[in-house]
Structure 1
Amino acid sequence: MTVLLLAGIVYTLILLTKQRDFASVGMVRNISHKLKGHSLSTNYWQAGIILFVANAALFALAFVILFFLPYGAMAGLCLCIPLSLITWMLFSEVWRGSWKDKVKMAFIGSTFFLFFLGWIFWYYATLEPAYPGDDLFMVWIVVIIASIFTIGAMSVSMFVILRK
């Protein structure tokens, strides 16, 4: 599990350092060129809500891959991390409004991660032991790991979207 975590961190760092190259890829350039004329490129509410839905859809895809496919964690790392980064870069490239509105759009889109973090803490706070004397220490470890991943995903998304 530790090797998988380290591989995911290294993979994400490599993708982050190469994000300028990804932004110039034909697919991202074509999609951003088609969306530049829409209100999506200047209305931070619409862009933020669509980014929120995209984050939720990518999370659902990662969840399905992780729990329903053999070796799902590896497939999830290799598929969902680049899809997330490309989605966030696409929104960064499409945006034509002011910097202040871009920050608002990024915050609205990343609110999914705050909701998920709140759900994690609510789940732990309302969790009851399965039997008397049940130790919930392992659940606390999962809460810490899930919190780190959620805060990391939110930070990376904000970094990618708000880059100059």
Structure 2
Amino acid sequence: MTVLLLAGIVFTLILIMRQRDFASVGMVKNISHKMKGHSLSTNYWQAGIALFSVNAALFALAFVILFFLPYGAMAGLLMCIPLSLLTWIIFSEAWMGTWKDKVKMAFIGSSFFLLFLVWVFWYYATLEPAYPGDDLFMAWIGVIIASIFTTGAMCVSMFVILRK
């Protein structure tokens, strides 16, 4: 299981380092070229909401995989992280508006991660022990791990879309 997690981290780092190469792949060029004529390439609200929706859908897919496959967490991470990065690269390549609007689009699209982080903190703040003397230390560890993953996902997505 640790090997799968490390493979996912390495694969994600490769995607980030080679994003220029992936942006020139035929599939990405084809999809981004088809998007250039639509409002998703110039309207930051529509593009940001589309990115928000894609992030939410991929998170829901990873969540479903987590509960229905034996090693679902690793399978979900190995599948959903590259798909999310690919989506962000496609939107970055298709964008035809100003740099300021691209930043707004990126903030709207990555706000899913911020909302998830707020929910995690709210859940932990309202968590009550199941029985008297119950230790909530493991719940705190879960909050720390969720904070690291969501902050990392938000930073990576912003880095991918705001590259020049």
TM bracket, shorter-chain basis? over 0.9
Say which SS state the counterpart of residue 135 (structure 1) adopts: coil
Amino acid at match of 1:21: D
Structure 2: distance between partners of 1:35 and 1:10: 30
For the aligned residue pairs, the C-alpha RMSD in angstroms reads 1.3
Structure 2: distance between partners of 1:77 and 1:21: 22
Count residues with an aligned counterpart.
164
Farther-moved stretch of structure 1 (58-67 vs 97-106): 58-67
* CA shift for structure 1 position 3: 4.9
Farther-moved stretch of structure 1 (109-118 vs 5-14): 5-14
CA contact (8 A) 2:5 2:74 kept: no
Identical-pair percentage: 85
Structure 2: distance between partners of 1:139 and 1:150: 16
Q: TM-score, normalised by structure 1?
A: 0.95
Gaps of 5+ in 2: none
Amino acid at match of 1:41: S
Structure 1: distance between partners of 2:67 and 2:18: 29
* CA shift for structure 1 position 9: 2.5
Q: TM-score, normalised by structure 2?
A: 0.95
Give the structure 2 partner of residue 45 of structure 1: 45
Gaps of 5+ in 1: none
Farther-moved stretch of structure 1 (2-11 vs 50-59): 2-11
Farther-moved stretch of structure 1 (94-103 vs 61-70): 61-70
* CA shift for structure 1 position 65: 1.3
* CA shift for structure 1 position 4: 4.8
Give the structure 1 partner of residue 73 of structure 2: 73
